[in-house]
Structure 1
């Protein structure tokens, strides 16, 4: 067990619980006991999240919150789309709260949340489900710069 601290270019293996302000659990690596591996400085984490990890050591636990801009971003009104009911003839009209896959312009699939079903239109929100929300992290550092085998599948993603 090493005793060095998390640096700006460290790889960090950690467990986390991600909660909303009301205490609802949004994501957890502890549920499946599959820790996440993040590399600081690779652009996958926000600067504020990296800042919260800097200086931590193996075994450290930390609770902190991040504003929407530092976590999953603000809710973008341009990502809320309106569709005609005719677009859902094949699938049937979905219920509010349903997440469906939609084919994007370049053929890529993106999940959309059905946020409203009206008489003649269906509203789909393509924002990240946690966009616009303050999120709370409860993290535990398991290892810093762990020596993982190439076959290890416990990476975040």
Structure 2
């Protein structure tokens, strides 16, 4: 069956600039070879929801209508990739702003807590581009749709991995209620605090899940990454329900 919006799929991909340089990949060995390996990243494929904005627009659109097992390449213009460059983020400053006066085009710099790249040097004036290195670039993605996920447990585990970088979370689903055992220490993870409501909202929208319970268990043997507040009990349970007014923290 052709893939459509709302499907959960496992996706492997490699992103390249027009000159062939790789800037992103789910292949760990290739990432190491290209010196873009992130030791905190997950490799082996991402679980994404087609049409939910989990990938850039051009790739997201290209996934529709394909079948599981499909392998192909798509070229994506800036407006459907990482956006056009913003001229307001290109600034010209005096060379005296730099401690190292040996400034040259292509040199990465940081000014006023902003990271950029020197694009031009004329006399004592330096032009710095503070746009993302991906902005304004046409990119291509070679990708493989590994599978379409059918089981709600796999869908939840995939979303949690996408948003938190943690796989194989213990999950139980009964009567459309998903109980997710939150790994010890994740409660103090800023990434998790920002993502948990979005995970729940996407489950409500794209699955038959009606309620999500986030369960944190602390035991004497567990090592806690941050001190608990005095009022935290040995076992705390957080419920996120489909109706915002009924959600509990």
Q: TM-score, normalised by structure 1?
A: 0.72
1:68 to 78, 81, 86: 78
CA distance in 1 between partners of 2:142 and 2:110 (Å): 30
RMSD: 2.8
Count of residues in Structure 1 that have an aligned counterpart in Structure 2:
143
CA distance in 1 between partners of 2:124 and 2:19 (Å): 34
Q: Name the counterpart of 1:99.
A: 108
Q: Give the secondary-structure state (helix, strand or coil) at the position aligned to 1:9.
A: coil
1:144 aligns with 2:159: no
Work out whether residues 5 and 144 of structure 1, in 8 Å CA contact, stay in contact via their aligned partners in 2. Answer: no
Work out whether residues 21 and 135 of structure 1, in 8 Å CA contact, stay in contact via their aligned partners in 2. Answer: yes
1:67-93 Cα distance to aligned partner (Å, 9 max, x none) = 22111222222221112122213xx23
CA distance in 1 between partners of 2:114 and 2:89 (Å): 11
Q: Name the counterpart of 1:6.
A: 3
CA distance in 2 between partners of 1:12 and 1:102 (Å): 41
1:74-115 Cα distance to aligned partner (Å, 9 max, x none) = 2222221112122213xx234421223444xxxxx5431121
| Structure 2 runs not aligned, ≥5 long | 32-41, 161-165, 169-249
- Give 1 or 2: higher helix fraction: 2
Q: 1:15-30 residue pairs with structure 2 within 5 A?
A: 15-30=12-27
Q: TM-score, normalised by structure 2?
A: 0.49
Structure of higher RCO (CA pairs closer than 8 Å, 6+ residues apart) = 1
Q: Name the counterpart of 2:119.
A: 115
Q: Structure 1 pair 95/7, CA: closer, same or farther in 2 (3 Å)?
A: same
Q: Give the C-alpha shift of residue 22 in structure 1.
A: 3.2
CA distance in 2 between partners of 1:23 and 1:110 (Å): 28
Q: Which has the larger radius of gyration?
A: 2
CA distance in 2 between partners of 1:144 and 1:85 (Å): 54
| Structure 1 runs not aligned, ≥5 long | 104-108
Q: Name the counterpart of 2:131.
A: 127
Q: Give the secondary-structure state (helix, strand or coil) at the position aligned to 2:12.
A: strand
Work out whether residues 53 and 60 of structure 2, in 8 Å CA contact, stay in contact via their aligned partners in 1. Answer: no
CA distance in 1 between partners of 2:127 and 2:105 (Å): 9
Work out whether residues 77 and 137 of structure 2, in 8 Å CA contact, stay in contact via their aligned partners in 1. Answer: yes
- Give 1 or 2: higher strand fraction: 1
Q: Structure 1 pair 29/111, CA: closer, same or farther in 2 (3 Å)?
A: farther
